[in-house]
A and B are shown apart, each in its own frame.
Chain A
Amino acid sequence: MSRKLKYTLMITIAVILVALGVMGCTSRVPARGWAGVSAINNTLIFTTMTGRIYSVNAADNAILGNPVKLEITSSGGFSCIPSCGTPAATPIAVYASPATGGDLAIFGGFDGRVYAYKMVNNQLGEKYYWRFPTGQSLASIVGGVVVSGDTAFVASIDGTISAIDIAKESEAANSLSIPQDSTILKWSVDLGNKLWATPVVDGDTLYIGCFDKKMYALNTADGSVKWTFEASGAISSAPIIDNNTLYFGGYDRTFYAVSIATHQVVWKFPADATTADAPDNWFWSKALLQNGVIYAPNLDGKVYAIDAASGTLNRAYSFKSDTFTKPAVAASPVLVGDKVVIGVTNLAKNTCKIFALDAAAGATRELASFTEGLNAQLFAFNGKAYLHTTKDNFYSIDPVNGATLKITLTTSTN
């Protein structure tokens, strides 16, 4: 083989390998999480993508104590080549806002464990109060935890829902003992397909949407299936429960109202998929119900205001403009005062804008614009909307005057 040809071959192979390597690493984006903000009493809880949880005083945005470290120590190495290199601490990704129950902040990690941190002197304790399971982890957790009474319910992506006995966990934590996972687990049920949604509990029934296109109603006492409703697409958003009706959207670009009494569709939007106002993409996150109107966010960059009683479209709010093309509403809208606050992101360019919607006037107003994306749920607290961007920054926005404040999370022991 001539030298020239050999070099050409070597270079070509090297280019292919580098291309595959780069594409593999970039396509296999490591889980970073996009946890929303939460609050216990007057303390805000910020969960970063770097494995830190900060307690912040809502009054003055001052950081309270040292951040909690939420990470696992692995053998380290390159992000796409595990088990190679020096030991490294990997942040645990969290995708949902922490659930709060009493003085506990509870959330599920992408490492397949549920962590509970206790509030001590208005800040989260540096070490977790308890975690479940202590043995073999569950499958990764994407959705949030829901607390009802002395039970925390969590869904993992392999289709398992687990009911955790909080009272027994706390008892064991107080006595500094490590309980058997089997004594803590009230029940677990395998729904057989991926679960990325946050469950919702109403009375003795737990509702959760599944990737198998079904909305499940489970008995909270033992996890048995009470009834199911089958949509045409996967469901990853939590339902709203009101007036004995479940309201939720799916990947089939349809928003459903399903009667809890009859388990039948009350209405669906759009009634006819060929209408001009039919959504163009998935209903990805939870809708907001306000004054009989459902504000359903869609990845097509619109929020659909639908009459909850009839299912007729009041108006589709579009956030597309000449300078803000291809928007997507990935975060759930929140109500701050009398304003519906909506976060709209551009998935390709990783930018976002925040809007306030005045439902009475039927008008939207741009509050802020960022050169960072927004996937995390918005959080309303004390008249402000809090957001966590894809560049791991936190902001508070006043929807009345649009005043925006970046919350700086730096301490000497970061």
Chain B
Amino acid sequence: MDLGAIWDVIILNPMINILVVLSKVLFNNLGLTIIALTIIIRGATYPLNRKQLLASKKMQELQPKIAELQKKYAKDRQKMAKEQMALFKEAGVSPTGCLLPMLTQMPIWLALYQSIVRVLATGPEQLLTLSRHLYASWPVVFDQIPLASRFLWFDLGVFDPTYILPLLVGASMWIQQKMVTPPNPDPQQQANSTMMLWMMPVMFTFFSLTFPSGLALYWVTSNIISIVMQYFVSGWGPLADTFKFLKKKGGPPTTPGVVDTQIVKKDAQQTTEKRKQSWMFWK
């Protein structure tokens, strides 16, 4: 069995069949099904996601200190790297801490993405291909396909001609990015951050103009979930600096400040304490 076949059997086929069955439960509405499955999967991967968000948050909170180090050791890169690592160690942060959970979740996201594309089956070739992914022992999937592709004002199988959905994709992605992009005193770093802030939303808006709306719906849903999760972990963050009215609302702190620094220190102390205890145990 080649890698593609293993991927199909273990990840893609279950996802496709669950998607089809879920559409039966959700009144034969593929749009609702895409939203529901995205919420379910994001919910199931929440522990990983939370780890990633916390790690990102800690990294954000260390930004002022990192900037200081960069300024201080601008001419000695080796020393700067050493001091940065020391800072990360002291704060109990791993520079790759936010990447690992994200990479772990990637196969699931990709499978969800692929399964949406597959069930949309916009052409004869795709529909014929879909037939080999269905479970013979689940009669409901055979009665259910092809799924009705109308949802709200658009057809899930083609791009949204009103451009509303692509704009929603871009806007939601920008908000999500903005929440995690702190201002940087270094102009060079700030330019990089600004580029990153706009690159993804613009690219995904462009993708939404060429791909079926079903995918755009998935992206919008996923972005909104990310925004909600991010809000509960670190508040509105730098977004509140752009939209001042968000600062007036209650809820978690909007920008990394004293409270967050204290949390980082407390976390670091706890981590050091745990390590000590663990070391004592083995001793």
Which A positions have Cβ atoms within 8 angstroms of B?
A: 1-2, 4-6, 8-9, 12-13, 16-17, 19-21, 23-24, 27-29, 31-32, 34, 80-82, 95, 142, 194, 196, 211, 232-234, 251-253, 273, 280-282, 284, 299-300, 326, 328, 330, 347-348, 375
Q: Is the CB of A234 within 8 A of B110?
A: no
Q: Is the CB of B207 within 8 A of A252?
A: no
Interface size on B, residues (CB 8 A): 44
Q: How far is the CA of A27 from the CA of B210 in the complex (A)?
A: 12
Interface centre among B106, B124, B196, B200 (most CB of A within 10 A): B124
Interface of chain B, main secondary structure: helix
Interface of chain A, main secondary structure: loop
By a CB distance below 8 angstroms, the chain A residues around B203 are 17
Q: Quick check: is B189 within 8 A (CB to CB) of the other chain?
A: yes
Chain B 160-196, CB within 8 Å of chain A: the 1/0 string? 0000000000000000000000000000010010001
By a CB distance below 8 angstroms, the chain B residues around A326 are 132
- Residue of chain A at shortest CB distance from B5: A348
Interface residue stretch chosen among B35-43, B115-123, B242-250: B115-123
Which B positions have Cβ atoms within 8 angstroms of A?
A: 5, 59, 63, 66, 81, 84, 95-96, 99, 102-103, 106, 110, 113-114, 117-118, 122-126, 128-129, 131-132, 134, 136, 139, 142-143, 145-146, 189, 192, 196, 199-200, 203, 207, 210-212, 215
Q: Is the CB of A232 within 8 A of B131?
A: no
In-complex Cβ contact of B123 among A1, A31, A284 (8 A): A31
Beyond the given A29-B123, A81-B210, A253-B142, please list 14 additional residue pairs across the A-B interface where CB-CB is below 8 A. A2-B66, A2-B95, A8-B95, A17-B203, A19-B110, A20-B207, A23-B113, A24-B215, A80-B210, A82-B210, A194-B146, A251-B143, A251-B145, A326-B132
In-complex Cβ contact of B117 among A17, A23, A31 (8 A): A23
Q: Is the CB of B118 within 8 A of A300?
A: no
Q: How far is the CA of A302 from the CA of B145 in the complex (A)?
A: 21
5 contacts between A and B (CB under 8 A): A12-B102, A95-B124, A281-B134, A300-B136, A328-B131
By a CB distance below 8 angstroms, the chain A residues around B102 are 12
Q: Is the CB of B84 within 8 A of A2?
A: yes
Taking the closest CB of chain B, its distance from the CB of A336, in whole angstroms, is 25
Taking the closest CB of chain A, its distance from the CB of B174, in whole angstroms, is 15
Q: How far is the CA of A32 from the CA of B131 in the complex (A)?
A: 19
Q: Is the CB of A252 within 8 A of B129?
A: no
By a CB distance below 8 angstroms, the chain B residues around A280 are 136
By a CB distance below 8 angstroms, the chain A residues around B131 are 281-282, 284, 299, 328, 347
By a CB distance below 8 angstroms, the chain B residues around A211 are 146
By a CB distance below 8 angstroms, the chain A residues around B126 are 27, 29
In-complex Cβ contact of A4 among B95, B192, B207 (8 A): B95
- Residue of chain B at shortest CB distance from A20: B207
Q: Is the CB of A347 within 8 A of B146?
A: no
Interface centre among B110, B123, B132, B203 (most CB of A within 10 A): B123
Q: Which 9 pairs from chain A and chain B are nearest by CB?
A: A27-B117, A280-B136, A5-B95, A299-B131, A29-B125, A233-B143, A347-B132, A31-B123, A252-B143
